[in-house]
Amino acid sequence: MKNYIYKLQGVTPPPTQEMEVEAEAEEEPSDEPPFPPVYESGDNFEKASEAKMQAADFKSDGKWEEALDKYTEAILEAEPSALLYANRAMALMELGRPRAAERDCTLALNQNPDSAKALRVRGKARKAMGKYEEALRDLSLSQQIDFDEGAVADLKELTQLHIEREKEDAQKRLEEEEKKIKRAEEIRKAQEDAKREAEEERARQAATGGGKICP
């Protein structure tokens, strides 16, 4: 479905989610706490389920630190779903950690490329990080999969930024083209001047016998 949406938009699909995870891991900044751990092994689904329920309660109460801890516990106990990673990403966003949220959303999209929630949260995370074009792409896709009124304002702002950037790029291209035309005209004029001066010099030499004294 995701590739179909890209086709409708007439754009080239982005790099694979695995590549994005690697890139995001390399960009882990020092101004945020370390990224929370991800699932490696384990199948304690009962403990994971209990932790998820506790996380949901903390989320309802707006206790995001506690919710983050429980989401992480659930992720480590048993193989997580895309929704679980997306929920932890939402907690990370509430705690002002957009880069970690972006990583978790990409992990979620590895499992389910059509996860509207993961796309939506990652779009918001990327907007917070200044990745406006990528944020616009994520939010546009999420809205086509599952419309959410809460994303409308962000999408509108990103669309306006995109339009403004396109205008700026177009103006830069125009200025560069004008510079090239001006430079080409300067070169042409210099060549014409050089040619005229050479012809004038030949004419002078012809008129004076090439500067030689006749016997």
Confidence (pLDDT) at 159? 92
φ, ψ for residue 114, nearest 5 deg: -105, 20
Confidence (pLDDT) at 184? 85
Residue range 62-76, pLDDT digits in tens: 999 999 999 999 999
Residues 183-194 have a mean pLDDT of 86
pTM of the predicted model over 0.75: no
Residue range 19-37, pLDDT digits in tens: 455 445 445 545 788 999 9
Confidence (pLDDT) at 24? 53
Residues 153-173 have a mean pLDDT of 84
**Greater model confidence, 4 or 61:** 61
Confidence (pLDDT) at 171? 77
User: What's the CA gap between 98 and 168, in Å, rounded?
Assistant: 27
Q: Which domains does the chain have, with CATH numbers?
A: 2-148 (1.25.40.10)
Residues 163-190 have a mean pLDDT of 81
Of all residues in the chain, what percent carry a pLDDT higher than 70?
Answer: 83
**Contact 155/139 with Cβ under 8 angstroms?**
yes
Contact residues for 26 (Cβ-Cβ < 8 A; gap 6+): none
Torsion, Cα 173 175 180 186, to 10 degrees, reads 170
User: What's the CA gap between 15 and 99, in Å, rounded?
Assistant: 18
Confidence (pLDDT) at 4? 38
Confidence band of 11 (pLDDT split at 50, 70, 90): very low
